Amino acid sequence: MDIYRKGSMSVGPRADAIPSSIGQNWNRRELRSKSTGEMNVKSFTAPRVAAALWVLLIPGHSYAGGDFPVASCKSWNGTVVERLGIDTSAATMRGIITKADLEEYCERDPGGETKQYGGKLTTGQCVSRYQKTERNIVLAAQADCRAGTIQFRYGSQAPRKVRFPLGEEADTSCASGLPPLIEQFKMLCPTAARRMGVE
C-alpha cells in the first residue's frame, strides 16, 4: 500500500489505497524504522491520523475492499474491487465473486449441499462447483445519491432498481431481496442514507 507524502512527512495511506475499513491494512512496513525495525509511533500521531481521515471523507474518492452485499437469504456476498464517486449523483461500485466468498458460503451451506449438512458434496467440491459458474461474474451497482436511487446488476441478469426512502409498506424481509440493495446504497451514499433514515 502506498503512503501519501507531503514533503518529507508521511501523512497516511493514499485515498485510493485505503480499504473501506478505515486504516485496517495500513502498510506497517513503511512505518517501521529501517535501522532498528521498531514501529515508528510518531506515524500514528493525531495530526497524521486526522489527515488520513480527512482524505477518506472527500466525496468522489476511490475505495476498494470488503464485502459487496449480494446475499439475501441463501446466497453469497461478493468482494468489492472498486468504489467511486461516493456521495455523488454517479456513485458506482464493482465487485467479483472470489474463492473466499464461495468458501464462506459452502461452509455455511444454507442449501444443505455438503455432507456436513446432509448433502453429497465436500466443502471443496461445493466451492469448485460454484467457481465454474461464478468466477467470471461482475457485480455492478450505480447510485444517484441526490435522487436516492440505486441500480444493481449481477452478471448478465436484469438489473434491480430501488428508490429511497422506501414506503412504510415496503417489504424489507430477507425474501424480498431488498436487504443487499439497502446495504449497497449505504456504502455508496452514506450521507444520503443517514438523511433519509435508510437502515
Question: Cα separations (Å) of 62 from 3, 12, 33, 47, 80?
Answer: 15, 15, 29, 22, 11
What's the whole-number mean pLDDT along residues 149-156?
98
Whether the predicted pLDDT of 124 surpasses 50: yes
Q: Are strands 67-68 and 3-6 parallel, antiparallel or unpaired?
A: unpaired
pLDDT tens string 54-70: 334 444 455 667 999 99
Distance (Å, rounded) from C-alpha 113 to C-alpha 165? Answer: 37
Instruction: Tell me the whole-structure pTM to 2 decimals.
Output: 0.68
In the prediction, which pLDDT does 62 show?
A: 55
Lowest mean pLDDT among 11-15, 97-101, 139-143, 173-177: 11-15
User: In b/e form, how buried is each residue of 158-192, taking b as 16+ CB within 10 angstroms?
Assistant: eebebebebeeeeeeeeeebbbbbbbbbbbbbbeb
What's the whole-number mean pLDDT along residues 147-169?
96
What's the whole-number mean pLDDT along residues 116-137?
97
Distance (Å, rounded) from C-alpha 89 to C-alpha 154? Answer: 21
pLDDT tens string 70-115: 987 889 999 999 999 999 999 999 999 999 999 999 999 999 999 9
Largest CA distance in the chain: 64
Where do the DSSP E strands lie in 30-137? Answer: 67-68, 78-84, 91-96
Lowest mean pLDDT among 99-103, 111-115, 153-157, 169-173: 169-173
In the prediction, which pLDDT does 56 show?
A: 40
Length of the chain in terms of residues written: 199
Question: Cα separations (Å) of 115 from 102, 108, 110, 120, 128?
Answer: 16, 12, 12, 5, 15
pLDDT tens string 6-57: 333 333 334 444 344 333 333 333 334 444 444 443 433 444 434 333 334 4
Distance (Å, rounded) from C-alpha 107 to C-alpha 155? Answer: 24
In the prediction, which pLDDT does 95 show?
A: 98
Report whether 20 contacts 80 (CB < 8 A): yes
